[in-house]
């Protein structure tokens, strides 16, 4: 990771993991998995409606009001689990986590799916050289799936269906296929918004929005034309790195036909893998050298396990080759 500390970490609530995160990565924001929270709600409260105030973004005052209303509605004022979760509210409530980048992740399900995927290739009786071969097969499957996604992203052209065709077209050109589907949903949601107020300051414009004929909740977007910076009270861009429906409404009001670069995070674009400048601290090794080191390591593992007796010399050769593989292929 080249000395960079993660911005955010999602766990299932394991205590040992929580302590390790606070010690090793004190600056990282720790979040509890929403999937595990929903399961615990069903077990301890018995009604999924309780998750509304847990996973819905609102202001702190709104959260406190909704929390009190929820515990009264479900009659869990004296529930020990509910009291404990309130004390830990900054680890799971969207209200306190919305300003931190999580890339759309709220659960550990992606990690669990990787475990499930690897279990198809691995079992406890594998020898070391067999384990390496099976890991290679699993990684090849993942790379093939990624190549297919890249091919579909480059060659497929989605049908434009929203009312903001120019912005939708630009989003289709910039974002990957899966990310574009998310952005298009925000463009569609823009049609439900109406402008309540517009205040033009010296260097910025502040818009106030609400959903047409739906409640009284409002959102504010401050737009600075000189820098093309959008700051929305929903904080979706801060959390996901994608423009929200409120930002698209401002773009429509300002007659913009392209999504500003300030609202485009490279990690979600088709050019996410393009690196123009490499970090001087990173180690770059030619692919053929990495392949050679890995092949040599696997051959020595095979000889060590099956053919050649485990003499001290062979042990030293195996350790040397395996260390070469780790240093070169893994970038250590």
User: Quick one: pLDDT at residue 245?
Assistant: 96
User: Quick one: pLDDT at residue 133?
Assistant: 87
Q: Confirm whether 313 is domain-assigned.
A: yes
- Clarify whether residues 14 and 64 are in a common domain: yes
Give the span between the Cα atoms of 170 and 55, in whole angstroms. Answer: 31
Q: Confirm whether 44 is domain-assigned.
A: yes
User: Quick one: pLDDT at residue 98?
Assistant: 87
Q: Confirm whether 90 is domain-assigned.
A: yes
User: Quick one: pLDDT at residue 283?
Assistant: 44
| Per-residue confidence in pLDDT tens, the chain, 332 aa | 567 788 899 988 888 988 898 898 888 999 998 888 888 888 888 776 667 777 788 888 888 988 888 888 888 888 898 899 899 999 998 889 988 999 888 887 766 677 777 788 888 888 888 888 888 888 888 888 888 888 888 888 899 999 999 999 999 999 999 899 999 999 999 999 999 999 998 899 999 999 987 778 899 999 999 999 999 999 999 999 999 999 999 999 999 999 999 999 999 999 888 754 444 444 444 445 455 555 555 554 554 444 444 444 444 454 555 555 445 444 44
Q: Which residues contact 222 (CB under 8 A, 6 or more apart)?
A: 204, 205, 206, 230, 231, 232
Domain residues for 126?
A: 120-155
- Clarify whether residues 195 and 252 are in a common domain: yes
User: Quick one: pLDDT at residue 295?
Assistant: 55
Domain count, the chain: 4
- Clarify whether residues 212 and 258 are in a common domain: yes
Q: Confirm whether 131 is domain-assigned.
A: yes
- Clarify whether residues 242 and 196 are in a common domain: yes
DSSP code of residue 107: S
Q: Confirm whether 237 is domain-assigned.
A: yes
Give the span between the Cα atoms of 88 and 275, in whole angstroms. Answer: 40
Q: Confirm whether 150 is domain-assigned.
A: yes
- Degrees, nearest 5: CA angle 321-327-332: 160
Q: Confirm whether 172 is domain-assigned.
A: yes
Q: Confirm whether 250 is domain-assigned.
A: yes
């Amino acid at each position: 990771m080249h000395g960079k500390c993660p911005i955010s970490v999602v766990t299932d609530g394991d205590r040992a993991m929580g302590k390790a995160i606070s010690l090793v990565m004190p600056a990282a924001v720790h979040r509890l998995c929403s999937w595990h929270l929903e399961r615990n709600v069903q077990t301890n409260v018995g009604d999924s409606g309780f998750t509304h105030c847990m996973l819905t973004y609102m202001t702190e005052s709104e959260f406190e009001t909704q929390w009190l209303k929820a515990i009264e509605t479900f009659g869990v004022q004296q529930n020990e689990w509910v009291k404990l979760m309130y004390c830990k509210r900054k680890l799971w409530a969207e209200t306190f986590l919305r300003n931190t980048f999580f890339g759309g992740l709220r659960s550990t399900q992606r990690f669990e799916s990787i475990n499930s995927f690897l279990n198809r290739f691995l079992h406890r009786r594998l020898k070391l050289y067999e384990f390496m071969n099976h890991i290679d097969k699993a990684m090849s499957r993942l790379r093939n799936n990624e190549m297919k996604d890249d091919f579909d992203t480059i060659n497929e052209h989605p049908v434009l269906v929203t009312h903001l065709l120019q912005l939708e077209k630009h989003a289709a050109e910039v974002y990957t296929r899966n990310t574009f589907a998310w952005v298009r949903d925000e463009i569609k949601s823009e049609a439900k918004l109406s402008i309540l107020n517009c205040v033009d300051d010296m260097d910025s414009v502040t818009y106030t929005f609400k959903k047409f004929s739906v409640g009284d909740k409002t959102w504010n977007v401050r737009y600075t034309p000189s820098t093309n910076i959008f700051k929305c009270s929903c904080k979706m861009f801060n959390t996901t790195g994608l423009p929200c429906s409120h930002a698209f409404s401002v773009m429509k009001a300002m007659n913009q036909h392209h999504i500003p670069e300030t609202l485009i995070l490279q990690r979600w674009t088709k050019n996410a893998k393009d690196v123009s400048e490499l970090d001087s601290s990173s180690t770059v090794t030619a692919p053929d050298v990495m392949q050679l080191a890995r092949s040599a390591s696997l051959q020595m593992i095979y000889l060590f396990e099956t053919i050649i007796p485990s003499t001290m010399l062979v042990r030293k050769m195996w350790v040397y080759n395996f260390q070469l593989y780790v240093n070169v292929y893994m970038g250590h």
